[in-house]
Amino acid sequence: MKKTITGIALSAILFPIVAACAPQQTAQTPTQPAPEATTPASPTPNAQTSPVPGANAQNVADLIGNNPSLSTLSSVIDEADLNDTLEQGGPYTIFAPSDQAFAALPAATRERLLQDENRALLRQILTNHVVPGSLTASQLQAGQIQTQAGSPVNVQIDGQQVRINEATVTQPDLQASNGVVHIVDRIILPPNVNL
């Protein structure tokens, strides 16, 4: 009985103190959410989503495979068993010959390159179009750069026009998740290869 009376007395004393503190906490809570409410939550997700277009989610092999003007290159990459390398490695800068560039080769040469016994030569030619690193057209500098094939190519810049050896970049800066692709109008042969 004494414990109950003491408990009631204590609660009667403590209740006004707690009640006095409660309004101060309530007054602080509205001011804390207010900055959060004024901080726009939606622009951050939009900013993260907008710079990631569908092309950026593709690796360079997928980007080449999905580009209608690079269908020949895509099939030749398959023939040379380079898909896994281009999907998982990188970053790469790829000077991708267009379908017209492959069409400029004599039909007999194209057939010869696709024969099993010439697979190493085909890989050498294809890797001569690949440079380590991700270089946009504006980052390319005049001079020589080393290709994955182990031979250098000559970069020439004339205003907005970029040439790699004798090939002209016709469509620059196709961005992929593991590099960048520049479409060129000619096949870039290694110096020791004569087709």
- What are 24-64's pLDDT values in tens digits? 443 433 344 443 333 333 322 222 222 333 446 799 999 99
* Average pLDDT for the chain: 78
pTM of model > 0.85: no
For range 140-153, the mean pLDDT: 95
Class of domain 57-184 (CATH, top level): mainly beta
pLDDT at 76 over 90: yes
Q: Which residues contact 142 (CB under 8 A, 6 or more apart)?
A: 155, 156, 157
The confidence score (pLDDT) of residue 56 equals: 60
The confidence score (pLDDT) of residue 104 equals: 93
Residues 103, 72, 90: CA angle, nearest 5 degrees:
130
Give the three-state DSSP class for 172. strand
Q: What residue type is 40 in one-letter code?
A: P
Q: Give the whole-angstrom CA distance, residue 47 versus residue 50.
A: 5
Task: Using alpha carbons, select from 102, 90, 103 the residue that is nearest to residue 177.
Answer: 90
Residue entry with tokens 């080449």: 64
Tokens coding 124: 């050498």
Angstrom CA distances, 113 to 10, 110, 117, 146, stand at: 95, 5, 9, 23
Q: Which residues contact 168 (CB under 8 A, 6 or more apart)?
A: 161, 162, 184, 185, 186
Q: Give the whole-angstrom CA distance, residue 93 versus residue 183.
A: 11
Q: 140 vs 11, which has greater pLDDT?
A: 140
Residue entry with tokens 């016709």: 170
